[in-house]
Amino acid sequence: MKKLILIVMVFFTLNSQALTQKIEVLGMVCAFCAQGIEKSFESANNVKAVFVNLEDYFVAIESKDEKGIEEKIIRAIITESGYDVKKIEVVSDSVSEIKKKYEPK
Amino acid sequence: MLEIIKLNKFYLILILLIISNQSILFAAPMSFKGSVTSMATASKDYFSLESSYVMTSKDAIGVRTYTSKGNGYNVKAGGIFYLRKLMRINAIKSQTNLWLFTGAGTINIKKNLKDKDYSYLSPILQFDYETKRLFGLVSQQILRVGHENFDTTKIEGGFSLYETSYNETQPWLILKAKYTNSIFSKVEYTPTLRLINKAIFMDSGITADGDPSFHMMYTF
C-alpha cells in the first residue's frame, strides 16, 4: 500500500505542469522603476521564472505548479511596486519561450 | 509683516502635510517596497549624499547631507526626510507622479565671516511625468532659516532617442534648470546625458558655465 501511494505521488509530481501567466501592467515605462516588479515576483512563493517586457508593457510569470499564482497576490505585488494591473491571462507558452519571442536577438 | 510670512509658512507646511495624508491619492516617488535607494550628486559648488528605505508603496524615510556654496554663502546641512507619494497615475504608456519630501535637520550657514547653526523643516513638492521616450519634472523646495531664504526651483525635461528592452541601458538627453535663492546669482542650466539600466541611474552634465555635474542613484 505504501509503495502504491509512493508511486502515485511520484507520478503526480512528474506530471505537474508549470503555469504561465501574462500580466499587462499600466505605467511600466522604465527599467529603473520596473525592477521592483521583477524582484518581488522572484522572491514570491511558487514562482519559477519572471520576464519583464517594457516594449509591450507586460510581465510573464511561470509558477512551479499547475495552480499558478493567485490573482490577488499578483495584483498586490504589482500595486506595491507602484503600478496597476490592466489584465491577467493564462498563456500556453513558457517564460523561456516568451523570452525567445520578445528579447532582441 | 514677519508674522504674516511666518503664518503663511505654517499654513503651507500644514497644507502639504494634510495633502500627504489623503488616502484618495494614488501612489509615491521612490523605488519598490523594502528597497533601499542611495544617491550622490556632485558639482563644483554642490555635493549631496542620501539614502532612503521604502516602507510602503507610498512612504519612504531617509537621511541626507549636503553642502552648497555661492554668492559668498557656504551652507552645510544634514538631517532626515520623509517621502510621500501623493499621487501616481498609471496610464497605458505613461506615469505621472506627485511627491512630497519633508526634510528636517540642522544647517550651518557661513557668510561674511559669520557662522551660525539652525534647525530646519523643509518641504519639497515634485511633479513628474514620463513615458518610455519623454520625461519632465518640476519641483519646488521651501527652505527658510533665520532671515535667509534658500528656496530652490528645479525644472527638467528631456527625451530618449530610442526605446530599449528591460535589460539594456537607455540613454536620455535632459536639460536641467535650477535656481536657489541667495546662493545662485542666475538660473543654472545643465545639459545632461542620463543612462538608466535597471538598478542604476546616472546623470553626467556640464553647466552653461562649463562646470561638470554628476548624479548617481542605485537601488539595493
Q: What is the pLDDT of residues A82-95, one digit of tens each?
A: 899 999 999 988 89
State residue B150's pLDDT score. Answer: 93
State residue A3's pLDDT score. Answer: 67
Contact (CB<8Å) B199/A27 = no
Nearest beta carbon to residue B165 from set A25, A29, A54: A54
Fold of B2-46+83-101+124-219: Porin (2.40.160)
Cα separation, B106 vs A10, whole angstroms: 65
Q: Is the pLDDT confidence value at A17 over 80?
A: no
Cα separation, A61 vs A82, whole angstroms: 18
Give the lowest-confidence range in B9-23, B51-65, B140-154. Answer: B9-23
Cα separation, B122 vs B151, whole angstroms: 9
Q: Domain span at residue A76?
A: 16-102
Dihedral pair phi/psi, residue B44, rounded to 5°: -55, -45
CA-based nearest residue to B111, from B61, B149, B62: B149
CB contacts < 8 A (A, B): 92
ipTM value for the complex: 0.75
Task: Assign residue A36 the CATH number of its domain.
Answer: 3.30.70.100
Nearest beta carbon to residue B32 from set A27, A40, A104: A40
Per residue, the 3-state secondary structure of chain A, as one string, reads: CHHHHHHHHHHHHHHCCCCEEEEEEECCCCHHHHHHHHHHHHCCCCEEEEEEECCCCEEEEEECCCCCCCHHHHHHHHHHCCCEEEEEEEECCCHHHHHHHHCCC
List chain B residues with CB under 8 Å of A103.
165, 167
Q: Does A16 touch chain B (CB under 8 A)?
A: no
| Closest-CA distance of chain A to residue B39, Å | 14
Cα separation, B220 vs B62, whole angstroms: 14
Whether A6 is covered by a domain: the verdict is no
Q: Does A53 touch chain B (CB under 8 A)?
A: yes
The residues spanned by each domain of chain B are 2-46+83-101+124-219
Interface test with A, best of B30, B129, B198 (most A CBs within 10 A): B198
Contact (CB<8Å) A55/B165 = yes
Whether A4 is covered by a domain: the verdict is no
List, in sequence order, every residue forming a beta bridge with B70; answer none if it has no partner: B73
Give the contacts of B211 (CB within 8 A, at least 6 positions apart). Answer: B43, B44, B45
CA angle B108, B204, A30 (to 5 degrees): 105
Residue B210's CB: how many other CB atoms inside 10 A?
A: 7
| Closest-CA distance of chain A to residue B179, Å | 27
Nearest beta carbon to residue A54 from set B85, B132, B199: B132
State residue B200's pLDDT score. Answer: 86
Q: How confident is the model at residue B122 (pLDDT cuts 50, 70, 90)?
A: very high
Whether A10 is covered by a domain: the verdict is no
| Closest-CA distance of chain B to residue A92, Å | 23
Residue whose cell numbers read 539652525: B118
Q: Which residue has the higher pLDDT, B33 or B25?
A: B33
State residue A9's pLDDT score. Answer: 57
CA angle B63, B171, B190 (to 5 degrees): 65
Is the pTM higher than 0.95?
no
Contact B51, B68 (CB under 8 A): no
Q: Which chain B residue has its CA at the smallest distance from A102's CA?
A: B165
Retrieve residue B88's grid coordinates: 501616481
Mean pLDDT of B179-188: 91
Nearest beta carbon to residue B166 from set A26, A31, A81: A31
Q: Tell me how many domains chain A contains.
A: 1
Q: Which chain A residue has its CA at the smallest distance from B202's CA?
A: A32
List chain B residues with CB under 8 Å of A28.
90
Q: How far is CA B196 from CA A34, A39, B163, in A?
A: 12, 17, 11
Q: What is the pLDDT of residues A50-76, one digit of tens each?
A: 999 988 999 999 998 888 889 999 999
Q: Is the pLDDT confidence value at B182 over 70?
A: yes
What is the phi-psi region of residue B103: left when phi exceeds 0, alpha when psi lies from -120 to 50, beta otherwise? beta
Contact A25, A58 (CB under 8 A): yes
